[in-house]
Amino acid sequence: MSDNMAIRLQDVHAGYGKMEVLFGITLHVASGEIVALVGPNGTGKTTTLRTIVGQVRARSGSLEYMGEDVSHKPPYVLTRRGIATSPEGRAILGNLTVLENLRLGAYTIRDPAQFRRGLERVYALFPRLQEREHQSGGSLSGGEQQMLAVGRALMSRPKLLLLDEPSLGIAPNLARTIFATFEEIRREGSSILIVEQNVYLSLRASDRSYVMERGKIVLEGESRGLLQNPHVKAAYLGVA
């Protein structure tokens, strides 16, 4: 089981200082799966991602990546092992050009040919980035920055792609464009974990989903089924 598991969290507790944010999170993403973690603002979705990449230490519980315990690894080591993140707030490096941001995303890639293939692939997914290639990351619009954040994460050819709020602050049709790329990214061999407030969009784009409220997973299952779930419908989809 563990060899086809990209990431597995078992009863993970974590937080900042005295504040506990995660109260026993158990979730997994199997290889080749697209999984959504949805829920309202401030429930600990971002903290869950930050714990996975090692920016926040898990206080208890286990954290396995590809069947190996990674709970004490710094972020850069996890990135080198194949996890890529499009972080909260996009975190575009405003002093670097679009191309330099993408080169940074490919920091772990040694082979120049592989870098070029990755660049072509990202430009094919987001042609706008190629037009803006030599502009500074700070000069991009919010939507372009979001594309850059996702594209940059793809540059390392990740085994596991973590996306924090890819729809936040961008036009709805651009959000749909970005979500439409996930299926193709999966075909190229990445598993994806999406953290989102936009429940409808993420349930439509994922295989399985977890619903998180106040630091706990309250619901999980096939995304298609969750779309019909009364609690999900009432609380998140605005239909009674």
Point out which residues bind another protein (CB under 8 A).
53, 55, 74-76, 79-80, 85, 87, 91, 93-96, 100, 103-105, 107-108, 152, 156
State the minimum distance, in angstroms, from the CB of residue 228 to another protein. 36
Judge contact between 49 and 63, C-beta under 8 A: no
Q: Given the complex with another protein, which of 60 and 95 has the nearer CB atom?
A: 95
State the minimum distance, in angstroms, from the CB of residue 75 to another protein. 5
198: tokens are: 């936009």
Cα end-to-end span (Å), the chain: 39
Strand partners, 65: 7, 68
Say which residues have a Cβ less than 8 Å from residue 180's Cβ, sequence separation at least 6. 205
Give the count of alpha carbons within 13 A of 57, CB side only: 4
State the minimum distance, in angstroms, from the CB of residue 108 to another protein. 4
3-class SS of residue 78 = helix
Q: Given the complex with another protein, which of 56 and 226 has the nearer CB atom?
A: 56
Distance, in Å, from the CA atom of 234 to the CA atom of 240, rounded to the nearest integer, reads 5
Distance, in Å, from the CA atom of 3 to the CA atom of 11, rounded to the nearest integer, reads 20
Q: Given the complex with another protein, which of 144 and 201 has the nearer CB atom?
A: 144
State the minimum distance, in angstroms, from the CB of residue 29 to another protein. 18
Q: Given the complex with another protein, which of 84 and 226 has the nearer CB atom?
A: 84
113: tokens are: 């040919």
State the minimum distance, in angstroms, from the CB of residue 90 to another protein. 9
